[in-house]
Amino acid sequence: MSNELKVKFWGVRGSYPTPGAGTIKYGGNTASLEVRAGERTIILDAGTGIIPLGRELARTKRANEIMLLFSHLHHDHTQGFPFFVPAYMPNARLHIFGPGGTPETLSSVLERNQSTETFPLGLRDMSSSKDIQSVRESQVIVWDENGIRLAESSVGLSDEAVVIRIHKSYAHPGGVYIYRIAWRGKSVVYATDTEGYVGTDRKLVQFAKDADVLIHDAQYLEEHYRGQLVGFPSTQGFGHSTVTMACEVALASAARRLVLFHHDPSYSDEMVAGMEATAKSLFADSVAAYEGLEFTLTPRFVSANAPLSAKETGGNVSVLLQKPSTLPLSQRERGQWK
C-alpha cells in the first residue's frame, strides 16, 4: 500500500467555467480536487474539474470505491457530477457526503439537479451504487480497514484511519463546510468559498492549525473587493476572500503551505500570476492553484500508540509539483517544489 498522501487539482476556478486563451495557464474548470491517502481516493467538490478526473479514475481502474465530499451545493461545486464517469459504472461504489439539514437533504438536492426538466438522466439512471448522506459539523468521517463510516469522535481510531473533520463556516451565503483530511500525521485543509474577517477568521485559524497544506479561497484582488477596480463593482459580502485574507489565515494558523483557490472567472492568467506574487510576499510558501498542480506528502513513521493530535503534527514533507504550462496535462513535466 502506498504510504503517500497526494493532492491533485483538477478544477480551480470559481463561479463558472472559463475556457479560452486567457486562462490556459491556470485552467478554466470549476472546483474539484483529488486527495489520495495510499490507495483511497477522496474527491473534494464536483465542479467541471471532476469530469476529466472521472475519466482518469475509470481509465486507471480506480473507480471501485470513491468518497466525494461537497463543501456546499452551489452550481460551481456540483455541475460536473452528471458527467462523472464512475457514477455510471455498475461496479463503482460512491460514498457521498455534504451539508444539509437532514440526512436526506444532500440526495434530494442532487436528485433535483438531475430532474427530467433539467437533465436527460436522473440520479437513479446512474448505475453505480451510491451512499449519499448529509453530515453534521460534529461528525467525523472515517475511512479505515473496516470501510467508510460516520463517527462522533476520532478517539481510538487506528493509524491507518483517514480522519476527516468538518468546520461549518457562515462566511459564505448559505454556509459552507471546510474539511480537514488527516492521515498518518499529514493534513490537508480545504477552505473554499469563504470570506475573511477583520483580524482573521479565528475559528478557521484554529481548525487549520499546523496544516501541511491549506487550500484557501482567494478569489479577489484587494481593489476588486473594495470596489476600486475600474469596471468591477465591490464584492464585499459575496462570501469570497482576497489574497491578503488567505495569507492572514495561513500565517495565523502556521500552515506549512498555502494554495490560492477559486480564482475569479473574469481574471486572466496574468492577473492570477500577479496575485500569486502578492501572496508570496506575504506568505513565502504560497502557490496559485492550477489544473495539474500536485503535492505528495510523505508521512514519517507514526507510533501505533501516539495520540491523534501528536500523529498529525510530525513528519518530513516532500512536495512535488507539476509546473504550470501550456502543454496538455499528460505532457507536463513533474518538478521539485520551488
Shortest separation between residue 120's beta carbon and Zn ion, angstroms: 25
First to last CA, the chain: 28
Shortest separation between residue 40's beta carbon and Zn ion, angstroms: 25
Q: Which is nearer to Zn ion, 193 or 248 (CB)?
A: 193
- Pairing status of strand 320-322 against strand 334-336: antiparallel
Distance CA 108, CA 49 (A): 23
- Using rule CB under 5 A, residue 65 touches Zn ion: no
- Using rule CB under 5 A, residue 14 touches Zn ion: yes
- Using rule CB under 5 A, residue 264 touches Zn ion: no
Shortest separation between residue 173's beta carbon and Zn ion, angstroms: 7
Residue 6 is placed in which grid cell?
497526494
Shortest separation between residue 152's beta carbon and Zn ion, angstroms: 28
Q: Which is nearer to Zn ion, 167 or 332 (CB)?
A: 167
Shortest separation between residue 234's beta carbon and Zn ion, angstroms: 18
Q: Which residue is nearest to Zn ion (CB)?
A: 74
Shortest separation between residue 71's beta carbon and Zn ion, angstroms: 8
Give the interface size with Zn ion as a residue count (CB under 5 A). Answer: 4
Which of 76, 195, 212, 269 binds Zn ion (CB under 5 A)? It is 76
Shortest separation between residue 193's beta carbon and Zn ion, angstroms: 4
- Using rule CB under 5 A, residue 263 touches Zn ion: no
The residues in 179-208 that bind Zn ion, with binding defined as CB under 5 A, are 193
- Using rule CB under 5 A, residue 17 touches Zn ion: no
- Cβ pair 251, 281 in contact under 8 A: no
- Using rule CB under 5 A, residue 40 touches Zn ion: no
Shortest separation between residue 191's beta carbon and Zn ion, angstroms: 12
The piece of 55-63, 66-74, 94-102, 202-210 that touches Zn ion (CB under 5 A) is 66-74
Angle 269-282/243-253 helices, nearest 10 degrees?
Answer: 30
Distance CA 243, CA 278 (A): 7
- Using rule CB under 5 A, residue 311 touches Zn ion: no
Q: Which is nearer to Zn ion, 5 or 215 (CB)?
A: 215
**What character string, x for contact with Zn ion (CB under 5 A) and - otherwise, covers 222-261?**
----------------------------------------
Q: Which is nearer to Zn ion, 4 or 264 (CB)?
A: 264
Q: At a CB cut-off of 8 Å and minimum separation 6, what does 274 contact?
A: 221
Q: Which is nearer to Zn ion, 242 or 322 (CB)?
A: 242
Shortest separation between residue 239's beta carbon and Zn ion, angstroms: 6
- Using rule CB under 5 A, residue 74 touches Zn ion: yes
Where do contacts with Zn ion occur on this chain (CB under 5 A)? 14, 74, 76, 193
